[in-house]
Structure 1
Amino acid sequence: GGPDSNGSQFFITTVTTSWLDGHHVVFGKVLSGMDVVHKIEAQGQDSGEPKGKIIILDSGEVSL
């Protein structure tokens, strides 16, 4: 979504992403499961297309 589109997106970053500073709000962090994040990351390619299909079967919110 672009400006005023009422859309949303999120990023889980594994390296410094200074080009996002001033453009996106940081609102959380991965508390557990970074091994899963790294497995997903390993499916990336320079072209932007994943090497294989990635399916998220379940998600949720952790109460603090």
Structure 2
Amino acid sequence: MRNDEATQIQFIQERLTQRHPELPPGTIAAIVVRARDVFAEAKVRKFIPLLVERRAKIELSASGTR
């Protein structure tokens, strides 16, 4: 994973943690890692942070959080 991609994903994790204070930060981190792992083999990396954020939000919505 390129450094700028890792930085963007870290910002996503921080935003989601702030947006969902009712969840432990470890839970948010696990959701983001699962979302990131889905795209681990992707050749084109440009949109990975966006896709990770969308996938994490979908998982959070499915779990009944805001």
TM-score calculated relative to the size of structure 2: 0.30
Structure with max Cα Rg: 1
Asked which structure has the greater RCO (Cα within 8 Å, sep 6+), the reply is 2
TM-score calculated relative to the size of structure 1: 0.31
